[in-house]
Amino acid sequence: MAKRNATEFLKTEYDALVAQSLDWRIKKLEGPSEAHAVVDGKKVLMLCSNNYLNLSNHPRLKEAAIKAIQTHGAGSGSVRAIAGTMNLHLQLEKKIASFKHAEAALYYQTGFAANAGLIPQLVGEGDVVISDELNHGSIIDGVRLSKAERAIYKHCDVGDLERVLKELDARPTPPRRIIVITDGVFSMDGDIAPLKDIVNAAEVHGAMVYVDDAHGDGVLGEGGRGIVNHFHLEGKVHVEMGTFSKAFGVVGGSIAGSKDLVAFALNKSRTWLLSGSAPPATAAACIAALEVLETEPQHFKKLWDNTNYFKKELQALGFDTGVSQTPITPVMVGESGKAKSLSEKLFEQGVFALPIVFPMVAKDKARIRTMVNAGLSREDLNFALNAFEKAGKELSII
C-alpha cells in the first residue's frame, strides 16, 4: 500500500505562494463599505471596492432591508423551487426585466451561481462554447462543468472569433449548438467587449450570445442599464447575466432575456434549484437599488465624472493605466512584489488599493486595480493621487 500524507500539500503549496509574493493577505473592513472606511483599524480612502455607485450604505436600501425583515423574517426557509419563492423575489425579477428592457429575468444567489448553474445546461455533447481568452473564472468554471467542446478566441478580437465560427461550421458534422460567451467589462483591465460586432458575427452562424455584465451593471448604458443597452442590442443578446454585488451595492446574480430562457433556466439550473433562496432583506434591498438608479441619476453621473478625472490625472503623473475604458483603472506595475509594495505604501498613507497578481493576471502584468466610486469627492481623488505620486516615485514606477 502506498504511503501518503493526506494534507502535506496544503502547507507546501501555500508556502510556495508566499515565497513568490502570490498569496492573498486579507484585510478586515470594520463598518460599512463607503468612500471613507476603516480597514484593520485604520481610516482609509476606499479605492478597491466594487461599490461603484456608493449604494451599499444608501438609506433607501437599508430601509427596504429592515422593512423586509419585519414583514418577511430573516430567511426564506427553502429553495426557490419548493417553498422559498417569496413575493419579494418575484417583484425583484419583474423589476430586473423592466430595468433591462427584457421579457423576463431570474435572480440567483450570486453571479458565480448564475454562470456555474446555467452554462452547463445550455450546452452538452455535440455543442461548442467559444469563450474570450480573458473571461472571468466563473465563466471558465461554468464551461468546465459542461460536456461541450471548448474553443477560445483572442481577447476582444472579433476577427479571430469569426475564424473559429467558420472553422466549426466547415466541419463534416457541424456542432449542434454554438454559444459565444464574453465578459461585458473585463474585471482586470476595465476594457469593454465589442459586443455589437460579436452579435453580428454570431448571428451569421446561428450562435447564441451570452454576456456576463457583472462590471457593466450600473456602470454602462442609459442610467446604468448595462452593456446590452449601451450598444442598443436589446433582444439580440440571448443571455444577459448580471450581478447586484457590485454597482448595485447588495449581493446576488441575475439573468435577463426571453421568457423561454427564464423558464428553461429555472427548471435546469442546479445552483438555483438546490440552493436556499436569498433572504427577504437582500431581495428588498436589490429592488430598492434599481429604484434608486431610476430616480437618482446623480450617482451614475458622479461615477463617470470621478472616473474621467482620476484616470486622466494618473496618466498625467506618468502611470500606465492600460486599456481601461471604465471605472476599473489598473495602475500597471509588472512585478508581483513591486505591486504589493506599492499597495503597502499607499495603505500607510491612508489609501486602500489592493494589488492584483498571478494567477488572476499574467505573471508580468501585476497591477494595483483601482475602483473609482461615486462617493469620492474631488478632494478625495486628489488625496489619492498625491499618495500614488509619492509611492510611485519611491518605487521608481514613475
User: What CATH number should be reported for the domain holding residue 185?
Assistant: 3.40.640.10
Please tell me the predicted confidence (pLDDT) of residue 109.
96
Q: Is 317 a domain residue? A: yes
For residue 384, give the CATH number of its domain.
3.90.1150.10
Out of 100, 215, 238, 365, pick the active-site residue: 215
Q: Is 71 a domain residue? A: yes
Q: Is 22 a domain residue? A: yes
Please tell me the predicted confidence (pLDDT) of residue 224.
97
Domain count, the chain: 2
Please tell me the predicted confidence (pLDDT) of residue 358.
82
**163-192, pLDDT tens digit by residue?**
999 999 999 999 999 999 999 999 999 999
Question: Quick one: pLDDT band at residue 232, thresholds 50, 70, 90?
Answer: very high
Please tell me the predicted confidence (pLDDT) of residue 336.
87
Residues 243 and 325 in one domain: no
Q: Does residue 325 surpass a pLDDT of 90? A: yes
Q: Is 10 a domain residue? A: no
Q: Does residue 12 surpass a pLDDT of 80? A: yes
Residues 291 and 313 in one domain: no
Residues 249 and 259 in one domain: yes
What is the chain's mean pLDDT, rounded?
Answer: 96
Please tell me the predicted confidence (pLDDT) of residue 25.
83
| 3-state percent breakdown (helix, strand, coil) of the chain, nearest 5 | 45, 15, 40
Answer positive or negative: Cα dihedral of 368, 113, 193, 104: negative
Residue 331's DSSP bridge partners are: 368
Q: Is 36 a catalytic residue?
A: no
**What is the DSSP code string of 106-154?**
EEES-HHHHHHHHHHHH--TT-EEEEETT--HHHHHHHHTS-SEEEEE-
Q: Does residue 360 surpass a pLDDT of 90? A: no
Cα gap 230→214, rounded to integer Å: 14
Tell me the average pLDDT across 227-233: 98
Q: Is 9 a domain residue? A: no
Residue 39 is given by DSSP the state E
**186-224, pLDDT tens digit by residue?**
999 999 999 999 999 999 999 999 999 999 999 999 999
Residues 130 and 241 in one domain: yes
- Chosen domain end from 295, 329, 360: 295
Residues 33 and 97 in one domain: no
Residues 155 and 250 in one domain: yes
Residues 240 and 150 in one domain: yes
- Three-state DSSP class for residue 237: coil
Q: Is 89 a catalytic residue?
A: no
Tell me the average pLDDT across 295-318: 97
Out of 49, 187, 254, 336, pick the active-site residue: 187
Percent over 90 (pLDDT), the chain? 94
Residues 385 and 287 in one domain: no
Cα gap 373→328, rounded to integer Å: 10
Q: Is 246 a catalytic residue?
A: yes
- Chosen domain end from 275, 295, 315: 295
Out of 58, 205, 238, 246, pick the active-site residue: 246
Residues 316 and 281 in one domain: no
Q: Is 52 a domain residue? A: no
Residues 34 and 94 in one domain: no
Which pTM does this prediction carry?
Answer: 0.95
Please tell me the predicted confidence (pLDDT) of residue 265.
98
Q: Which of 216, 198, 215 is nearest to 207 (CA)?
A: 198
Residues 38 and 126 in one domain: no
Residue 389 is given by DSSP the state H
Residues 128 and 143 in one domain: yes
Q: Does residue 102 surpass a pLDDT of 90? A: yes
Tell me the average pLDDT across 296-318: 97
Q: Does residue 20 surpass a pLDDT of 90? A: no
Q: Which domain holds residue 331?
A: 18-47+297-394
- Chosen domain end from 264, 295, 326: 295
